[in-house]
A and B are shown apart, each in its own frame.
Chain A
Amino acid sequence: MLLEVQNLSMRFGGVLALRQVSFDVDWGSITAIIGPNGAGKTTAFNCITGFYKAQQGNVLFSPPNRPTMDISRMLGQPFSWSDWVQPRQALSKLGYQLFGGPHMICRAGIARTFQNVRLFKEMTVLENLLVAQHQQLNRYFIGGMFHTKAFRNEEEMAINRAMDWLQFFGLAQDANRPAGQLPYGHQRRVEIARSLCTDPVILCLDEPAAGLNPHETKDLSQLIRRMRSDFNLTILLIEHDIGLVMELSDHIVVLDHGEVIARGAPAEIQQNPKVVEAYLG
């Protein structure tokens, strides 16, 4: 299992947005989360990617060849009484409180996109992709200040890597345009390219096909397949376009009113009476 979501709960005021949500994501799979509006899909997504801190439950992330990580712990947990008897736990909590945060989750290998595109609009497309490579770059301020050779080489490598991704997404001609000026469909692809620049293990796409025309949607589904086959990426996506979900995904998780009502392969989900009821009733 690459990602194990265990008993995730999240409450906003009086609304229980997630109630004991559990599901798994296999390494190398395309997993889709579907459900009616307000079912808690985006909330679950936000908890997994470190955008929200889950109030209860764990998200365990075990990338290949690395130890298992607990997402909610990386965001910084408050101290509790049991820390007195477990000083190691207290120390790790202190460490994460001081240096933890959503950036650690990105470094662990989870990348995401947003439903409403969130590019750095005043930067060029290329700069957007370079920002995402921040963690892999030589960030020494002195090197930048004196423009050393090592610094320049590294900068050039980052630009090449960014251009490779732009080529993959067919955006190379837009590299030096301000990101905010691109057409919407292109901005979506830039956002996916940018999250790939963080070198993720799992890519979380929040409604990637929203606002795209049928032709663009078709291209997108091909791109998603290619990302998985060419780069060994695991993909987790939220999508309303059921046709796209059924065509793409290996595994589907259905949420309704903050609860998981069904899990399984597309064929099983289509025949599940609970799912039919949730969508029609």
Chain B
Amino acid sequence: MIVGMAPEIVVQQAINGLVLGATYGLIAVGYTMVYGIIGMINFAHGEIYMVSAYLTAIFIATFQFFGLAYLPALLAAVLAATVLITALYGWFVERIAYRPLRQSTRLAPLITAIGVSLILQSYVRLSQGARSQGIPSLLQGSFTLNIGPHGGMIHITHVQFFIIVIAFLSMALLTFLMLKTPMGRACRATEQDLVMASLLGIPTDRAISTVFVIGAAMAAVAGVLVSLNYGSFDFHIGFITGIKAFTAAVLGGIGSLPGAMLGGLILGLAESFFSGFVNSDYKDVFAFSLLVLVLIFRPSGLLGQPQVAKV
């Protein structure tokens, strides 16, 4: 930490970083789970996130039009509807673009992933227009806390608080689903040994679909939260956010679920501290340098297990 900085600025940047990192983590979950189960990088995942941002705006407008004015109910309804529809997108993408290529070379689904990503972008641009869109800020106001001996103040906006709470709740729910339910067990078994899992009666195609659906749902949670926070988006926000979340997944060890969450948080915090204390123009450079450094010293990521060659 940089010496001589006022503690309130450090705490403020930490909170900003936590908010950013939580959304990276939510998206990174999709990358890491899909990689874990079928060993492919789903480059269309960022676009799924972008679609969810548009869906957020559409659902807010729709529900408000039908007179849903009570804020918590509106937020819950928007979150549920967006997650549901985005999860359907995830399911369709897997069914149409990846499943038919399951038996082919490893590169083929990678190429279709890029194709799907372009299709989704163009589809959103054509149907929603190329200009950036916005949503009204629903959650206004902030908490102000006094810390430090000199009466320094930090601000946590209500949106930021909401993001942290929802992000951590969804991560906890996901962890529970994966560790404690038959569905999660089936997914983990498929991840470890697909053939054996299917010989034990697990419909592995469905387990793979489930993973795509969960990934898309988590990206949708991130989409809703980020849209509420920034209020504006356009049809190519998926690219840079997707790359960042992918970086987070690799940083934490791709294939590892806690790794993705941890990687997201570290990346968010690093970016936030760097832009707060050094230079905000070079924050992406710093984030990716961090990735390079981690990969030099721990090629499998922070929590990833080193690949052992299978005989």
A residues apposed to B, CB below 8 Å: 49-51, 99, 101-103, 105-107, 111-112, 114, 118, 120-123, 127, 130-135, 137-139, 141, 144-145, 151, 155, 158, 194-195, 198
Shortest beta-carbon contacts, A-B, top 5: A144-B181, A106-B201, A135-B201, A102-B198, A131-B189
Please indicate the chain B residues that have their CB under 8 angstroms from the CB of A123 in the complex. 185, 188-189, 192
Query: Most A CB atoms within 10 A — which of B173, B195, B196, B204?
Result: B196
Specify the chain B residue showing the minimal Cβ separation from A132.
B200
Known contacts A135-B201, A144-B182; 10 additional CB pairs below 8 A are A51-B199, A103-B199, A103-B202, A107-B201, A120-B188, A120-B192, A134-B200, A144-B181, A144-B184, A145-B173
Interface string of B208-223 (1 = CB under 8 A from A): 0000000000000000
With both chains docked as a complex, state the minimum distance between the C-beta of A108 and any C-beta of chain B, in angstroms: 9
Is the pair B181, A127 in contact by a Cβ cutoff of 8 Å?
no
Please indicate the chain B residues that have their CB under 8 angstroms from the CB of A99 in the complex. 203
Query: Most B CB atoms within 10 A — which of A51, A103, A198?
Result: A103
Query: Most A CB atoms within 10 A — which of B177, B189, B198, B201?
Result: B201
Is the pair A103, B181 in contact by a Cβ cutoff of 8 Å?
no
**Chain B interface residue number, banded:** 20 to 34
Please indicate the chain A residues that have their CB under 8 angstroms from the CB of B193 in the complex. 118, 120
With both chains docked as a complex, state the minimum distance between the C-beta of B215 and any C-beta of chain A, in angstroms: 15
A-B contact pairs, 29 of them (CB 8 A): A51-B199, A101-B204, A103-B199, A103-B204, A106-B200, A107-B201, A118-B193, A120-B188, A120-B189, A120-B192, A122-B188, A122-B192, A123-B188, A131-B185, A131-B197, A131-B200, A132-B200, A132-B201, A133-B182, A134-B182, A134-B201, A137-B182, A138-B182, A139-B183, A144-B180, A144-B182, A158-B182, A195-B200, A198-B201
With both chains docked as a complex, state the minimum distance between the C-beta of A146 and any C-beta of chain B, in angstroms: 10
Bound Cα distance from A118 to B197, whole angstroms: 10
Is the pair B181, A134 in contact by a Cβ cutoff of 8 Å?
no
Bound Cα distance from A5 to B177, whole angstroms: 42
Docked complex: B151-199 residues within 8 A CB-CB of A: 173, 177, 180-186, 188-189, 192-193, 195-199
Is the pair A118, B202 in contact by a Cβ cutoff of 8 Å?
no
Is the pair B196, A120 in contact by a Cβ cutoff of 8 Å?
yes
Count of chain A to chain B residue pairs whose CB atoms are closer than 8 Å in the complex:
88
**If A120-B188, A120-B193 touch, does A130 touch B198 (CB 8 Å cutoff)?**
no
With both chains docked as a complex, state the minimum distance between the C-beta of B180 and any C-beta of chain A, in angstroms: 7
Bound Cα distance from A176 to B163, whole angstroms: 36
With both chains docked as a complex, state the minimum distance between the C-beta of A198 and any C-beta of chain B, in angstroms: 5
Bound Cα distance from A133 to B182, whole angstroms: 9
Is the pair A112, B199 in contact by a Cβ cutoff of 8 Å?
yes
Is the pair A101, B200 in contact by a Cβ cutoff of 8 Å?
no
Please indicate the chain B residues that have their CB under 8 angstroms from the CB of A144 in the complex. 177, 180-184
Bound Cα distance from A132 to B196, whole angstroms: 10
Is the pair B183, A141 in contact by a Cβ cutoff of 8 Å?
yes
Bound Cα distance from A102 to B203, whole angstroms: 8
Query: Most B CB atoms within 10 A — which of A111, A120, A122?
Result: A120
Please indicate the chain A residues that have their CB under 8 angstroms from the CB of B196 in the complex. 114, 118, 120
Docked complex: B224-251 residues within 8 A CB-CB of A: none
Query: Most B CB atoms within 10 A — which of A121, A123, A144, A155?
Result: A144
Bound Cα distance from A138 to B185, whole angstroms: 13
Query: Most A CB atoms within 10 A — which of B183, B185, B199?
Result: B199
